[in-house]
Amino acid sequence: MSEQGNGTVHTPISEGELNKPITVREFVFRYLKYLPLIIISIAIALLIAFIRIRYAVPIYRVQSSLLIKNEQASSGDGKLGQLLLMQPSVNMLNEIEILKSRPLIQRVVDDLELEKMYYNVGKVRSTQFHKTELPFSLQIAQIPDSTKWFSFSISILNDQEFTMGKEKKKYQFGEPIHIGNNTCVLFRQSGISLEAFKSTEFQVIWRPKKDATDYVIGNLKINQVNEYATILGLSMQTENISIGIDVLNTIMAVYDSTIVEDKNRIAVNTLKFIDKRLDTLRYELGDVQGNLSDFYAKNETFNIEEQSKVFLGNIESSSTELSQMEIKINILNWLHDYISNSQNIYKLVPTDLGIAEPALLSLINQYNQLQLLRESNLRTTTESNPMIVGFNAQLEKMRSNLETALQNVKQSYIITKSSLDQKNQELHGKFKSLPGKSLQSINIERKQKILEDLYSFLLQKRLETSISSASTISNSKALEPAIGRPIPVSPDKSSLYTTYVLLGLVIPIGLIAVIELMSDKVRSRMEIERATAAPIVGEIGHSEEKQVLVVNKNSRKFIAEQFRIIRTNLQYFINRIEKPVIMVTSSLSGEGKSFVSTNIGAAIALTGKKTVIMEFDIRKPKILTGLDLKRKMGITNYIIGKAEFKDLPLAVEGVENLYVIPCGPIPPNPAELLLEPKMKELMEEVKKNFEVVIMDTAPAGLVSDAVHLGEFANCTLYIIRRGYTARRMLGLVQELYAQKKLPSISVVLNDINMEGGYYGGYYGGYGYYGYGYGQEGGYFEKETPKKSTLKRRVSKWYHRWFS
């Protein structure tokens, strides 16, 4: 690339250099003009993010942790084995659901009075406060409809008075106030100064308990720390850290007390069952003891013979086992009667009775847990609720399963007992020699022993249950009390700013991408250089002048200098030609052929050469209209023999040595007319009378006129208009250049944006005279800015960014 400012023309590139990918430097310079748009978009995005952060309500995160002890209670019994009451492994998912259950959360709402919400009204936003932080307290005296919200605002005047809303009436603290049908009382809390608040105006909101419960559940998150630990992490998002801390701590406390209450209820129910069985045993034991006394008195038998001690030892051992088995069978019978009794349908089943059957224990524990869950839900609903009906159905099914399980266990015990009986009978067979009276005595004593053992066992269990109930503790522990950080989790400033910056980048970049994808117009000189090997002789800036002729003797405007540069560069094509003929054409109409032809002619005429512009665009002539010249005889008149050459030239006023030969009347057959023999005579006459000839022809991309006229021309100026000429037309330019259909083609890029960084972007460090630089340096005439109308501003903006 050579410097055009020194009068040199762009050197054409070789065929092998065409259609090369755009370089990084070209890419940067091509899109550098969009940088202000991207910066403005990012600035607007950051402003929106700042406003959102400024006006958003800050949300804080409060968290705590709760330890669930995995205790499996078991104890040994010398006679009956392990106790029935055994805690199963802790199911953490169940514990999480219990912690988030509505009955438990409603107790928290009641304890903390979360139906009431308090806000201090500020200039920008209102701030929520905990009831313990306020300078007043609220008591609800009457709420006829507890399902409806209500709110009111107050302005505290002093320690005794306040006003409500916009009313001027003063109210006294402690005086009942009426909000609709609701009655409330406000009390001034001493020790809390109003100076700590943004204003003396407060808003009070009361919401139904159900909504307050839903709010806590919706903002409460509970998760297991890891799959191997029995630690739960509790967290809550809230506007006020103190409220969140109280909620989490209260949830853990209520959960702890609920567990203790459930354990105590099971113990009380077990004690009732044991006391009832003891009363029955007392009567049975009394009867056996009376029978034994009567037997001794009647049969005068008191001791067994010495020789039967060995057999008696064996019988005693067998009897002991048989006695234990009968105790178990009796316990199973009692449990079966208890479960089958319709009065005990919704009562807990006693557990700590010494039956060590794992399957049966599991069923009883599940049955009791379901009973507790049903009772918990009945606190907040009725028995007709579908959920309670479902619980009843589950309980009925489990009760049936329990009865079946009890029968199965009892049957197994009966079989064992039968085996023991058989063994005992064998021992008695060997004991035939013993007196029959002694055997009767042994049977009575064995029955007495069974009842005594069972009675002692129940007494022991009652004592153990009483002690256990008195010392019941929860299996949960607040591992870490609730704490909150004063740094809000929402809005997240860093992520919000990052998101909006990305939006500020994506939106303009997306817009630019859409523009680039939808645009099929020539946008820059580099596109021409990659698409065609034809040299670029110069560039013309966008003109907002009303008159077409911008080049005159005294003009030093930048656009006039651009035409002078083209005039200089044309010397490389016509330097050795005595009377050159320059043809001006383009691909389509509206690309500026007439404008360029007129001003190139004026620039050459200013050098003292007699120059004529021939209006060969016979179909759509614009030269005379642009110069405001009156029409007269023209080219078509001369070709058909209706005019002489001396009548054709028109002098252009204000530009010495510049003339125009109009096209004349528009014929019906322009293409054929240009092929007439008279055309050669016309061109010979023109060369005799003028030193330089400019032929303004029809577009070569539409009609063949330019190709026909090419035989009379020495060089061709092919006009490409930036933002108007389609890129596909560059292929036509390359075709005309490669196949030499037009003489010495060179390109003029018209309508470039002189204020959009075009020159700085393209030429970079090549020292081209930029528009602003030239004006400030005194190289060019400083143009008087025109009054900016909306239409001109929109056009200028569109031309700057999208063309």
The whole-angstrom separation of Cα 617 and Cα 673 is: 12
Q: Are 565 and 769 in contact (CB under 8 A)?
A: no
Q: Is 411 helix (H, G, I), strand (E, B) or coil?
A: helix
Span 612-634, pLDDT tens digits: 999 988 888 888 888 888 877 89
Which strands form 476-484's sheet, in the order they lie side by side?
220-224, 231-238, 60-68, 476-484
Secondary structure of 13-28 as H, E, C letters: CCHHHCCCCCCHHHHH
Residue 207 identity (one-letter amino acid): R
Which strands form 136-142's sheet, in the order they lie side by side?
136-142, 182-188, 176-179
The string over 43-66, giving b where at least 16 C-beta atoms fall within 10 Å of a residue's C-beta and e elsewhere, is eebeeebeeebeeeebebbbbbbb
pTM for this entry: 0.55
pLDDT of residue 507: 92
Cα angle vertex 533, ends 527, 534, to 5°? Answer: 95
Q: Are 335 and 407 in contact (CB under 8 A)?
A: no
Span 258-278, pLDDT tens digits: 888 777 777 777 877 888 877
And the tokens for 578?
A: 């005595």
The whole-angstrom separation of Cα 126 and Cα 23 is: 56
Nearest-CA neighbor of 274 among 81, 458, 79, 465? 458
Residues of the chain with pLDDT under 70: 1-22, 71-89, 292, 295-312, 352, 429-440, 468-472, 754-803
pLDDT of residue 116: 93
The whole-angstrom separation of Cα 560 and Cα 563 is: 5
Nearest-CA neighbor of 736 among 759, 712, 719? 719
Q: What is the largest CA-CA distance in the chain?
A: 176
Report CA 53 to chain centroid distance, whole Å. 17
- Domain positions in the chain are 4-11+532-629+689-802, 24-56+493-517, 61-256, 270-481
- Residue 525: HSE in the Cβ half-sphere, 13 Å Cα cutoff: 24
* 159 φ, ψ (degrees, to nearest 5): -70, -10
The whole-angstrom separation of Cα 487 and Cα 494 is: 13
* 152 φ, ψ (degrees, to nearest 5): -160, 160
CA-CA distances (angstroms) from residue 213 to 104, 109, 110, 220, 720? 10, 7, 10, 11, 73
CATH top-level class for 4-11+532-629+689-802? alpha beta
pLDDT of residue 4: 41
